[in-house]
């Protein structure tokens, strides 16, 4: 999948993989890849700035921990993040229905 195809949707994708519970940054990348069947293989340089942006917007909360002598930040959805995810899901549903209607062959043939 082209990285440009994710543009504008990355925040919702990150919020969605955190819905199941807190994860550290690399685990978020792995979850995106796993849930997309390998189609989303996003670089850290794409995901980590988005995590910082979402945390600054109070959609995520982050905490530092030490695991095996390494510091890592674990992110969790906030209440505002859950509301934002619900809104983004509704917007995506509407958007994908409209695009599907336009892309569907004329006359309803498939």
Condensed to tens digits (0 to 9), the pLDDT of residues 55-101 reads 999 999 999 988 888 899 999 999 999 999 999 999 999 999 999 99
Bin 58: left if φ > 0, else alpha if -120 < ψ < 50, else beta: left
List beta partners, residue 64. Answer: 73
**What pairing do the DSSP bridges indicate for beta strands 23-24 and 60-67?**
unpaired
Contacts of 77 (CB under 8 A, 6+ apart): 15, 18, 19, 59, 60, 85
**The whole model's pTM is what?**
0.86
Domains of the chain: 3-102 (1.10.10.10)
C-alpha 77/C-alpha 109 separation (Å) is 42
């Amino acid at each position: 999948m082209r990285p440009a195809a994710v543009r504008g949707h990355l925040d919702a994708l990150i919020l969605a993989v955190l819905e199941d519970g807190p994860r550290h940054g690399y685990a978020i990348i792995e979850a995106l890849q796993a849930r997309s069947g390998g189609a989303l293989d996003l670089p850290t340089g794409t995901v980590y700035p988005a995590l910082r942006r979402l945390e600054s917007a109070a959609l995520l909360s982050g905490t530092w921990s030490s695991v095996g002598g390494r510091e890592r930040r674990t992110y969790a959805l906030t209440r505002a993040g859950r509301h934002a995810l619900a809104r983004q899901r509704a917007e995506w549903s509407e958007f994908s229905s409209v695009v599907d209607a336009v892309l569907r062959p004329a006359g309803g043939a498939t």
